[in-house]
């Protein structure tokens, strides 16, 4: 029901740019504007938070306790601590704000700590009044990078703490760094900084002093602070892209853990919220020994939010996989969705430009949910808005006016049960750091699969899967568990999943067979043979996307969880295989109800960088389909064996497929997605038939439906059609024929069709009509819910039932 939700927290993120002068009157003007613009969302939240992006956290590091001191704040456009100018720069380089940042206003200048303290008081006062007395929290942000404000502390006086190379050499503060001695007095260190003080100790004590003096309620750790040493890339203390170094685990783990232990020792009882890195939990663990098991076990942090990077690099698959990996387990009660609508530092406002006013990074991401140990699906219950102001300090009315209805719609229709695919995530197993290459490979492969159109948006941890399978197995009805090999290395998890498959349910296993027990390999559908690596050719025996693509493969062991050892059993139906010089190895196959996909990432032979300190060399980029076989799509293609045919129909191999998320609510299916190339349709058939979106036409061809989708799409679908005849059918929402009935869902232009309609739980008074003529119908119990079923229907049919709403509800 539209608007029928309640947030636990609504966070307004705001910079110092809207405050055009330092007066209290200006503080109140901006605060009133903020709360007025977003009132419709504030009214649906039990608590309001304000995260202040005043500087980059250097105002915390520099604080001496004197309110008359001034500090640098974020009045720049571009990288405030700029990238080094290239040798022999072009004239354009001098107009590039990453090399030459500029003030957003000519009169912008440092501000006093007294101004900041009064701003916090005014925001709390105005917020309490404007939001009806709701609790108001104020947060301070610490960012480890060079972008937001000039930092004398990080890049001049204490350059020793900037050890990471994420944007340029020595551009990011690493959480395992230590400070050199400094005689300058600070609020937390009035006698100066002793030599060897850890950044965790210094940051914690400085924030504690600022929070005590100014009234901050929580600390936000930005851009992966505490989750690795190279949080914008796949390299780290344990991985340089050439190899993993498990022998370094004890040292790297101790250094990472030391940061958190020192920080928490200075901040007992403090509230910490986190951004996380740009990568899944397994990658953070495998490359940098991130102590997520410790952090989640102690419950001291809020789990990382979804990354805003999808709006920048359009890698929605990586963003969704990363978020799901971080919410499979929860350190607390809930988690937040963060929506990137403005950027106060660089010349873009994602809602208006990067998204083009299309909610393609909202509706699909908001289908993400987690399953708890009772089998209940938990969607996000908190919302953060990054940010409420733009890089000129503007707060344009257009953005809240347009964004709020989409946000309300998305939160009003969050999932109430698992989607058709359920990611069984081995959070605890990855945290033990037993097999770094396997952990890295499994997370990066599933991220690539989602990027290539796999509709995976519900996650459950292995620990919670144990509980659900034992006590609430009915909650798994209608789902296909998607399981990395790591999870099956736990014998009890393997037995639960194989037992689930033995009852006629499908499971999909992905990963590497290298080094796993022979008995487990055989149950999946292969035996371990001589290892193969290097160049290969892919051979595909099932329908893929309707275009040509390369058959080249190259197996890099460090990216693929080891060499290829998987030789199909005689009873395994081979869907795809890799032909190496030394023989064929299984890429995808079916053994009974077990589907297997070998997680071989499509990385080119000449990929490896010679200079890992260069920012662009720190990313793992899969090759385009005209250069390498798109192996990450094998999961999506393999689902056809389970009745889920999901294929793209591009006209050229480099055209990206639509990215699809499928959720469930009130027994309806919510199909949401992002179409990078709107000329690329989807070919869809499900176990119930072809889904028919309302207010859409689709071509039925060879039993499947051809969908042409907009850049951002969201369909609530209850009707499915099976029809042999080809032709265009259409879905239409009609007006009610009788008082108290729902608007009929109508399908037109049918020809001897079988039509199913999933009805909401608890509904009654069902009617099936052709025009005004009642039609007889059957009931069918399906794994997805109860269906109205009619057969041999031509022309049109409509479905309606009694309206369950009471009165004139908004």
Q: 589-618: per-residue pLDDT in tens?
A: 999 999 999 999 999 887 655 544 444 456
Q: What is the CATH number of the domain that holds 444?
A: 3.40.50
Domain holding 534, by residue range, is: 421-639
- When pLDDT is averaged across residues 612-639 and rounded to a whole number, the result is 82
Q: Do 545 and 425 share a structural domain?
A: yes
Beta carbons within 10 angstroms of residue 251's beta carbon: 14
Say if 462 falls within a structural domain. yes
Using CA atoms, how far residue 416 sits from 177, 454, 657, 665, 763, in Å, is 44, 20, 27, 5, 17
Q: Which backbone phi and psi does 619 adopt, to 5 degrees?
A: -100, 155
Please report where in the chains the tokens 């899944």 appear, as a residue: 280
pLDDT in tens, 19-68: 999 999 999 999 999 999 999 999 999 999 999 999 999 999 999 999 99
Task: Show which of 611, 639, 667 is a domain's final residue.
Answer: 639
Q: Do 608 and 489 share a structural domain?
A: yes
pLDDT in tens, 491-527: 999 999 999 999 999 999 999 999 999 999 999 999 9
Q: Do 495 and 557 share a structural domain?
A: yes
As a whole-number percent, the residues of the chain with pLDDT over 70 amount to: 98
How far is residue 47's CA from residue 132's CA, in Å, rounded to a whole number? 11
Chain mean position to CA 609 = 27
Residue 295 has pLDDT above 70, yes or no: yes
Q: What is the chain's mean pLDDT, rounded?
A: 95
* Count of structural domains within the chain: 2
Task: Show which of 639, 669, 703 is a domain's final residue.
Answer: 639
3-state helix vs strand vs coil in the chain, percent to 5: 25, 30, 45
Say if 255 falls within a structural domain. no
Q: Do 703 and 627 share a structural domain?
A: no
Q: Do 668 and 628 share a structural domain?
A: no
Count each helix (H run) and each strand (E run) in the chain, helices first.
19, 41
Question: What local confidence, expressed as pLDDT, does residue 618 receive?
Answer: 65
Using CA atoms, how far residue 455 sits from 504, 600, 601, 692, in Å, is 22, 19, 19, 17
Bridge-based pairing state of the strands 458-461 and 526-532: unpaired
Residue 243 has pLDDT above 60, yes or no: yes
Q: Name every residue whose Cβ is closer than 8 Å to that of residue 537 and which is 6 or more positions away in sequence.
A: 551, 552, 553, 578, 579
C-beta of residue 343 within 8 angstroms of C-beta of residue 694 = no
Q: Which backbone phi and psi does 236 adopt, to 5 degrees?
A: 180, -165
Chain mean position to CA 87 = 38
Q: Do 555 and 472 share a structural domain?
A: yes
Task: Kindly write down the DSSP assignment for every residue of 236-291, as one continuous string.
Answer: BTTB-SS-B-GGGHHHHHHHHHHHHHHHHHHSTT--EEE---SS-HHHHHHHH---
Say if 102 falls within a structural domain. no
Q: Do 627 and 520 share a structural domain?
A: yes
Using CA atoms, how far residue 396 sits from 356, 393, 676, 781, in Å, is 15, 10, 27, 51
Say if 169 falls within a structural domain. no
Q: Do 756 and 687 share a structural domain?
A: yes
Question: What local confidence, expressed as pLDDT, does residue 804 receive?
Answer: 72
Question: What local confidence, expressed as pLDDT, does residue 617 receive?
Answer: 54
Say if 528 falls within a structural domain. yes
Say if 345 falls within a structural domain. no
Question: What local confidence, expressed as pLDDT, does residue 613 receive?
Answer: 44
What are the helix (H) ranges across 419-517?
427-431, 436-451, 462-471, 485-488, 491-502
C-beta of residue 427 within 8 angstroms of C-beta of residue 462 = yes
Say if 624 falls within a structural domain. yes
| Four-point Cα dihedral 758, 763, 767, 771, nearest 10 | -70
pLDDT in tens, 249-292: 999 999 999 999 999 999 999 999 999 999 999 999 999 999 99
pLDDT in tens, 535-578: 999 999 999 999 999 999 999 999 999 999 999 999 999 999 99
Q: Do 670 and 628 share a structural domain?
A: no
C-beta of residue 34 within 8 angstroms of C-beta of residue 393 = no
How far is residue 719's CA from residue 787's CA, in Å, rounded to a whole number? 9
Say if 778 falls within a structural domain. yes
Question: What local confidence, expressed as pLDDT, does residue 805 receive?
Answer: 63
- Binned at pLDDT 50, 70 and 90, residue 332 comes out as confident
Q: Do 584 and 675 share a structural domain?
A: no
- When pLDDT is averaged across residues 348-375 and rounded to a whole number, the result is 97
Q: Which backbone phi and psi does 458 adopt, to 5 degrees?
A: -120, 140
Q: Do 765 and 732 share a structural domain?
A: yes
Residue 80 has pLDDT above 80, yes or no: yes
């Amino acid at each position: 029901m539209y608007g029928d939700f309640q947030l636990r927290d609504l966070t307004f993120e705001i910079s110092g740019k809207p405050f055009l002068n330092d007066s209290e009157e200006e503080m109140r003007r901006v605060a009133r504007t903020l709360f007025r613009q977003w009132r419709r969302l504030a009214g649906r939240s039990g608590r309001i938070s304000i995260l202040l992006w005043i500087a980059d956290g250097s105002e915390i590091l520099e604080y001496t306790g004197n309110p008359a001191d001034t500090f640098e704040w974020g009045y720049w456009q571009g990288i405030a601590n700029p990238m080094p100018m290239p040798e022999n720069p072009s004239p354009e380089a001098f107009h590039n704000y990453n090399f030459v940042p500029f003030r957003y206003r000519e009169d912008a200048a440092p501000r006093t700590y007294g101004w900041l303290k009064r701003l916090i008081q005014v925001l709390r006062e105005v917020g309490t009044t404007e939001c009806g007395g709701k609790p108001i929290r104020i947060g301070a942000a610490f960012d480890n990078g060079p972008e937001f404000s000039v930092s004398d502390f990080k890049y001049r006086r204490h350059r020793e703490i900037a050890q990471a190379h994420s944007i340029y050499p020595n551009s990011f503060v690493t959480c395992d760094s230590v400070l050199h001695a400094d005689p300058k007095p600070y609020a937390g260190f009035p006698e100066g900084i002793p030599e060897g003080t850890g950044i965790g100790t210094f940051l914690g004590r400085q924030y504690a002093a600022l929070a005590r003096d100014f009234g901050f309620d929580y600390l936000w750790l930005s851009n992966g602070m505490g989750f690795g040493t190279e949080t914008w890339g796949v390299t780290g203390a344990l991985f340089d892209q050439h190899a993993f170094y498990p022998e370094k685990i004890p040292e790297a783990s101790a250094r990472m853990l030391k940061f958190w232990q020192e920080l928490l020792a200075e901040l007992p009882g403090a509230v910490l919220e986190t951004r996380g890195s740009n990568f899944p939990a397994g990658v953070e663990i495998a490359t940098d020994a991130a102590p997520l098991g410790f952090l989640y076990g102690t419950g001291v942090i809020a789990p990382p939010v979804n990354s805003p990077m999808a709006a920048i690099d359009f890698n929605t698959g990586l963003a969704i996989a990363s978020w799901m990996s971080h919410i499979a387990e929860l350190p607390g009660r809930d988690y937040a969705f963060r929506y990137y609508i403005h950027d106060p530092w660089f010349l873009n406002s994602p809602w208006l430009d990067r998204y083009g006013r299309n909610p393609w990074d909202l509706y699909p991401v908001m289908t993400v949910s987690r399953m708890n140990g009772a089998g209940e699906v938990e969607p996000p219950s908190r919302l953060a808005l990054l940010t409420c102001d733009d890089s000129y300090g503007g707060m344009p009315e257009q953005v809240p006016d347009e964004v709020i209805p989409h946000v309300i719609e998305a939160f009003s229709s969050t999932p109430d049960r698992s989607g058709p695919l359920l990611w069984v995530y081995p959070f605890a197993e990855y945290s033990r750091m037993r097999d770094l290459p396997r952990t890295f490979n499994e997370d990066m492969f599933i991220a690539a699969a989602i990027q290539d159109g796999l509709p995976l948006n519900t996650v459950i941890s292995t620990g919670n899967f144990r509980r659900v399978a034992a006590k609430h197995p009915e909650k798994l009805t209608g789902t296909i568990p998607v399981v990395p090999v790591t999870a099956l290395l736990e014998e009890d998890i393997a037995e639960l999943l194989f037992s689930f498959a033995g009852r006629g349910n499908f499971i999909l296993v992905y990963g590497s067979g290298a080094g796993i027990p022979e008995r487990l390999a055989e149950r999946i559908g292969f035996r371990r043979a001589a290892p193969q690596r290097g160049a290969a050719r892919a051979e595909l025996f099932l329908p893929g996307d309707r275009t040509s693509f390369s058959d080249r493969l190259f197996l890099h062991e460090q990216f693929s969880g080891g060499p290829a050892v998987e030789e199909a059993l005689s009873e395994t139906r081979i869907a795809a295989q890799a032909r190496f010089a030394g023989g064929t190895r299984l890429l995808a196959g079916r053994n009974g109800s077990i589907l297997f996909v070998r997680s071989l990432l499509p990385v080119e032979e000449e990929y490896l960088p010679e200079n890992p300190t260069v920012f662009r060399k720190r990313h793992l980029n899969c090759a385009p389909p005209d250069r390498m076989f798109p192996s990450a799509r094998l999961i999506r293609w393999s689902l056809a064996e389970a009745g889920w045919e999901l294929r793209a129909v591009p006209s050229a191999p480099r055209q990206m497929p639509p990215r699809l998320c499928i959720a469930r609510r009130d027994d309806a299916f919510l199909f949401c997605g992002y179409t990078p190339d709107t000329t690329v349709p989807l070919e869809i058939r499900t176990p119930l038939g072809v889904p028919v979106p309302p207010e859409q036409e689709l071509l039925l061809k060879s039993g499947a439906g051809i969908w042409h989708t907009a850049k951002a799409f969201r369909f609530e679908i209850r009707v499915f059609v099976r029809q042999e005849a080809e032709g265009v059918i259409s879905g239409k929402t009609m007006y009610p024929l009788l008082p108290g009935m729902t608007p009929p869902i109508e399908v037109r232009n049918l020809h001897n069709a079988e039509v199913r309609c999933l009805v909401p739980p608890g509904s009654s008074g069902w009617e099936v009509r052709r025009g005004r003529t009642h039609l007889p119908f059957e009931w069918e119990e399906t794994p997805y819910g109860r269906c109205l079923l009619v057969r041999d229907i031509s022309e049109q049919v409509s479905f309606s039932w009694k309206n369950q709403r009471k009165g004139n509800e908004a």
